[in-house]
Amino acid sequence: MLEVSLIMVKPHAFATKRMGTIISMLENNNFHIIGMKSIKLTLELARKFYFVHEGKEFFERLIKYMSSGTVAAICVEKNDCVAELRKLIGATDPSKAAEGTIRRVCGTTVGKNAVHASDSIENANKEVRFFFSDIELYSYRFIQY
Ligand code: IDP
Ligand code: MG
C-alpha cells in the first residue's frame, strides 16, 4: 500500500553535512521525497514531538539535543513506506544497526543516531502533519514527468 512516513535528520548529522548521504540513500532505495524543510526546534516543540517518551530516563536529554541545532524534516512516499524506512535506518543503536543502514553509516551513538523515523502508519501520518501543511506535500503519483 502506498504510504508516507517522516524522517527527521538530527542536529549532529545535519551539522556534520550528512544530508547529502542521507538523501542519496533515500533516493537510491526508491523513496520519493514529497516534502522537505529545515527547522530549529524549540524545547517546547521537541517536547511535543517526542511526548510518547515523556517520563523516560533519557527524555530531557533527548529534547535538549533535538532542539540544539538545525534539523531537517523529510516526508517520503513509497509502497510499505513506514516499514521500509525503519529497515533502511536500522537499529536505534548505530553500533547494532545492520551494514549499509543510515544509522550505521551516519550515526555515532544512541543519542546521535543521525535520524528519527516514524514507527507506525498512524504515527507517520501524525508526524508528517506536525511539520507539513497540504501545500507543502505533493504525491509523486500526480507528477507528470
Ligand atoms: P527509535 O528512534 O529507534 O524509534 P525510540 O525508542 O523511539 O527509538 O527512542 C527515541 C530516541 O531516543 C532514539 O532515537 C534515541 O536517540 C533516544 N534514545 C532511546 N533510548 C535511549 C537510551 O537508552 N539512551 C539515550 N537515548 C535514547
Ligand atoms: Mg521511535
Question: DSSP characters for 60-101?
Answer: HHHHHHHTSSEEEEEEEEEETHHHHHHHHH--SSGGGSPTTS
pLDDT value, residue 93: 98
Which phi and psi (to 5°) does residue 4 adopt?
A: -115, 160
Q: How much is the pTM?
A: 0.97
pLDDT value, residue 32: 98
pLDDT averaged over consecutive 10-residue blocks of the chain (145 residues)?
Answer: 98 98 98 98 98 97 98 98 98 98 98 98 98 96 85
* Sheet order of strands, 2-9 included: 32-40, 70-79, 2-9, 115-117
119 lines ligand 1 (CB under 6 A): yes
State CA 22 to chain mean position distance: 10
Residue nearest to atom 8 of ligand 1 (CA): 92
Please report the atom of ligand 1 found closest to the CA of residue 10. Answer: 16
d(CA 59, CA 55): 7
pLDDT value, residue 68: 98
Task: With H, G, I as helix, E, B as strand and everything else as coil, classify residue 23.
Answer: helix
- Considering only CA atoms, which of 55, 78, 92 is closest in space to residue 2? 78
Domains of the chain as residue ranges with CATH = 2-138 (3.30.70.141)
Residue nearest to atom 6 of ligand 1 (CA): 92
Catalytic annotation present for 32: no
